[in-house]
Amino acid sequence: MTTTTFPQFAASSSARTFARYATIGARCALGFVFFSAGLMGLLNVMPPPSEPMPPGALAGALLLSNRFVPLALTLLAPVLVNIFLFHAVLTPGQVGMPSALLCVELFLAWTYRAAYRPLLTARNSASS
């Protein structure tokens, strides 16, 4: 059974492999950005944070450890929208990096969309 015999299987497996590695890369990249930004605040490289542990650092750690990824994406969504809108409205020339981070967030949210499906049901029966 070679790829020349069944070319449709070769295309689908390579697409799945790419999607798997793209998801891992996007998750690690987004996690590293927010975890390192949170650590810079905690290590006094930047001004000290107002909270003991910024939510971005916590969400970044969750993304890097591959634990509770949908929760981490939910925590980062309002932060990323705020960052994007701040740069889009007040500093339009510097909207590149926030746009890229927002695209990565949307890609990961689409990848983990099955985890969000129960949140978006209109009526849910109570289970015991």
pLDDT of 32-56, one tens digit each? 999 998 888 777 777 766 666 678 8
Question: What percent of the chain is helix, strand and coil (3-state, nearest 5)?
Answer: 75, 0, 25
What does the chain come to in residues? 128
> Between 66 and 9, where is the model more confident?
66
pLDDT of residue 126: 74
pLDDT band of residue 21 (cuts 50, 70, 90) is very high
pLDDT of residue 55: 81
pLDDT band of residue 11 (cuts 50, 70, 90) is low
Mean per-residue pLDDT, 84-97: 94
Three-class DSSP category at 19: helix
Do residues 118 and 124 lie in contact, with contact meaning Cβ atoms separated by under 8 Å?
yes
Gap between the Cα atoms of 73 and 88, Å rounded: 21
Q: What is the pTM of this model?
A: 0.79
